[in-house]
Amino acid sequence: MGGSDRMPGWAAAFGALVGVAPVPVVIATEYLSIEAAQKALFPQADRFSELVLSLSPAQRERVAALAGPQPPHRSLRAFRAWHGDQPLGFVFVDEVIGKEDFITYAVAIDASGHLSAPEVLAYRESHGGEIRNAAWRQQFAGRQGLDQLRVQTDIKNIAGATLSCQHVTEGVRWLVALWQVALQPAASG
């Protein structure tokens, strides 16, 4: 075997390294702004006021007990939707871990406690983006209360998006528990 028939040493080493350590491809996509999600969730609203939520230790414990096990969350923003001086409900913008990165989504709870279909604002994973499909998101629409938000029982999974489905559903459970503990009494006023 002559010198011209062999691969240079550095090329062989690089080829071996690439073969052993594949680099995952992450596709981060922003789909909606918070403002666009608010309008999609409450099209009749003419304004949104951001809330500062401060829970007591007892409220935190109650929310955790109601919501059940949770994936890591990164941030939460809450807004009250208004039409004139009439409160319509709340919009929550939450971030839960998918498999390796965070999914930003928004969901609304109207004044009577009914959920909207979630809106996916940003998806940062290479797999599982199927949670943006309307059919999956519509499973949440109109549900009321935690007994209607069980993973695999009420909210069906999507093959290839198991963790995304599970974590967003668990995150929505946490938001409903938060609403029940801290905001429901104020929903009428």
Which of 50, 93, 55, 53 lies closest to 74 in space, CA to CA? 93
Contacts of residue 41, defined as CB under 8 A and 6 or more positions apart, other chains included, come to 81, 91, 106, 107, 108, 116, 119
Residue 185 has pLDDT above 90, yes or no: no
Residue 44 DSSP SS3? coil
Percent of the chain's residues with pLDDT above 70: 83
pLDDT at 9: 56
Tokens of 46: 């003419």
Mean predicted confidence (pLDDT) in 76-90:
97
Q: How many residues does the chain have?
A: 189
For residue 26, name the pLDDT band (cuts at 50, 70, 90). Answer: very low
What is the Cα 86 distance to its own chain's centre? 27
Contacts of residue 178, defined as CB under 8 A and 6 or more positions apart, other chains included, come to 53, 55, 63, 67, 92
Q: Give the model confidence (pLDDT) of 91-127 as tens digits.
A: 999 999 998 899 999 999 999 999 999 999 999 988 8
Residue 23 has pLDDT above 50, yes or no: no
Which of 140, 171, 143 lies closest to 155 in space, CA to CA? 140
Contacts of residue 87, defined as CB under 8 A and 6 or more positions apart, other chains included, come to 80, 81, 111, 187, 188, 189
Dist CA 93 CA 87 (whole Å) = 18
Q: Please name the residue that has the structure tokens 């069980």.
A: 150
